[in-house]
Amino acid sequence: MSRENLKKATRIFSYVKPYKWKFVIGILLITLSALFTLVVTRLWGQLGGIGTQQPTGPDLREYFNFELDFSSLSDIAIATFVLLVVQAALSFIRVLLFANVTENMMLSLRQDTYQQIVRMPMQYFNEQRVGDLNSRISADITSIQDIFTTTLAELLRQLIIIVGGVLALLWFSPTLTFIMLGTLPIVIIIAVIFGRFIRKLSKRTQDKVAESNVIVQETLTGIVNVKSFANEALEVMRYMASIREIKDFAIKGAKWRGAFASFIILFIFGAITLVILKGADLAEDESLAGEHFFSFLLITGLVAGSIGGLANLFGTLQKGIGAIENVMDILDQETEEVALSTQRENLQPNLIGNIDFKNVVFHYASREEVGVLNDLSFSIKSGEQVAIVGPSGAGKSTIASMVLRFYKPVSGSILFEGKEAKEYSLTELRNQMAFVPQEVILFGGTIQENIAYGNPDASDAEIKAAADQANATEFISQFPDGMDTVVGERGIQLSGGQRQRIAIARAVLKNPTILILDEATSSLDSESERLVQDALDKLMAGRTSLVIAHRLSTVRNATQILVLEKGKLAESGTHDDLMNIENGLYKNLIQLQGTRETFQK
């Protein structure tokens, strides 16, 4: 922990602020509970001291308006049970208060973190792993939740017990307290560190066991390769090398565990014996009352346990501070200015589908030395069907991403209806666009839910009409559950052609002004391709359509074909215009692809 990450971690208390009084009351209750623990321990000491020597403490009857005789076994027992009942009630109320504060905090924190993530620009997702982002929302926020639910309360409780306990011990016997503080806490701290080292050794042993299991799994999975290459001996040697490491780590761990057990017996029990021996000696010469000696031993055990627990609590606290830092790093990121309102009708700009690229230059932030688009200019008129073709890496998909404003030009400008793209809000623009990718990934719900994603406010009749237009109704009706059929994670329970038609139905339902298609038929069989292409033709009618073409046979009827090479516009025109260019790039691509398709047939 450093000053910087502690400062960042304190920002989490802005989420506590709306519930600060509940939090403060919870802190007061945990403080009272810790003090009551010390008082109850003291009463136990008095119970143990009765019959050995008269108590020497003050007569509380002089200060409080109740009749209790602290030399009476029954009176001490009554006081103990009363305190335990009060302490139990306070603990129950404190747990409820902390749970209420924490759950409300986590609700706000989860919402803010998730909102922040979904509003991040695409460049951020290019640089992050999905698993890491998911961990921020799940594991990290759970760690933060643990801090406010239990760790802070327990840490405060243990610190109060340690401080209050040591003060009580000093009141009983300064001599015995200094002996205890000079031996037992130090030995306990060493034992905790020792124990953590042994746990790490055990974890390394388990890691080696897991590695050996991987070898077994790989060998059995690839048994055909093993036998065909006559590598049985190689696999046995590989496995033997792994299990020898397991043996070495296990023996090393056993040695340290044995040393730890010896340490516990010799030093911790030795320190306790030393304290008891000195206390007995003081009690024998009557410089320490018997009931004080019993109380001293009990409070010493309480303090020692709290000191031992501090290591784990601080470990948990450090983990939580790291989690807070990770979440705050997300909340500090710059996001896209997208609206979180679902009222789409209030976010519609007056677009008719005119798009202009003017001298656009672009490279990805992570690869600045590699130009993707180089001084690119072209115009798309409303209602045109424009195909973008070119070799792999020419920048075709990047153009689609820039129309969607996933990325901003490094220089140059993109215009809609003659106005700079930045003059529109992102939500306004994207609400007028629909994107059908080549590889469709559906959500794990029902077919109806996936189609309705294009317009969550659509009626069942509108969803059905969209499915009809996308040529999806036939296969949907063959499922026993129809529209309520669950598609599975990423739509895995549907074929590629079925997923494409669901995506098209979703785009139909959105009723976009601008349609962007990343060649949706390139990996389909002939029948699926026919159905999907027919659905696409219906969808493109009357709309500005931008088609990223991989199979050039699908773009012959495009109003305009843009041919890219190395991020520049090499050629443009209709199919017939481009085929008349001698040694033209488009003509060469058509001929090359035709030769390849003939060979494949």
Token pair of 113, please? 């973190």
Q: Is residue 453's pLDDT more than 60?
A: yes
pLDDT (average), residues 429-448: 83
Question: Which pLDDT band holds residue 596 (cuts at 50, 70, 90)?
Answer: very low
Q: Residue 600: pLDDT above 70?
A: no
- Side chain identity at 433, as an amino acid letter? M
Burial class (CB in 10 A: 0-12, 13-18, 19+), 418: exposed
Q: Which CATH class is domain 1-173+309-336?
A: mainly alpha
What was the pLDDT predicted at 524? 58
* pLDDT-derived band at 407, boundaries 50, 70, 90: confident
Q: What is the DSSP string of 232-245?
A: HHHHHHHHHHHHHH
CA-based radius of gyration for the chain: 37
Q: Which residue is it, tokens 């933060």?
A: 144
Partnered with residue 413 across adjacent β-strands are 358
Does residue 54 have a pLDDT over 70? no
* pLDDT for the residue numbered 11: 79
Kindly tell me if the per-residue pLDDT of 508 is higher than 60.
Answer: yes
Q: Is the distance from CB of 495 to CB of 442 less than 8 angstroms?
A: no
601-to-518, 587, 594 alpha-carbon distances in Å: 25, 21, 11
254-304 per-position pLDDT tens digit: 778 777 777 777 777 777 777 777 767 776 666 666 666 777 777 777 777
Nearest CA among 105, 149, 114 for reference residue 17: 105
pLDDT at 475 over 60: yes
What rounded mean pLDDT belongs to the chain?
Answer: 78
CA distance linking residue 118 with residue 141, whole number of Å? 17
More confident residue, 136 or 51: 136
- Select the CATH number that applies to the domain covering 341-431+560-601 from these four: 3.30.930.10, 3.30.70.260, 1.20.81.30, 3.40.50.300: 3.40.50.300
Identify which has the larger pLDDT, 502 or 133: 502
Mean pLDDT for the stretch of residues 546-571? 80
pLDDT-wise least confident of 108-117, 196-205, 464-473, 565-574? 196-205
Map tokens 């003509």 to a residue. Answer: 587
Rounded Cα gap, residues 295 and 179, in angstroms: 16
Tokens read off for 274: 């030393």
Which residue matches tokens 């792994």?
Answer: 242
3-state secondary structure of 55: coil
Query: How far is Cα 192 from Cα 186, in angstroms, rounded to an integer?
Result: 10
What local confidence, expressed as pLDDT, does residue 598 receive? 40
355-402 pLDDT tens trace = 899 998 988 877 777 788 888 888 889 888 888 888 877 888 888 888
CA distances from 333 to 3, 116, 330, 472 (A): 21, 8, 5, 41
- What's the whole-model pTM score? 0.72
What was the pLDDT predicted at 597? 47
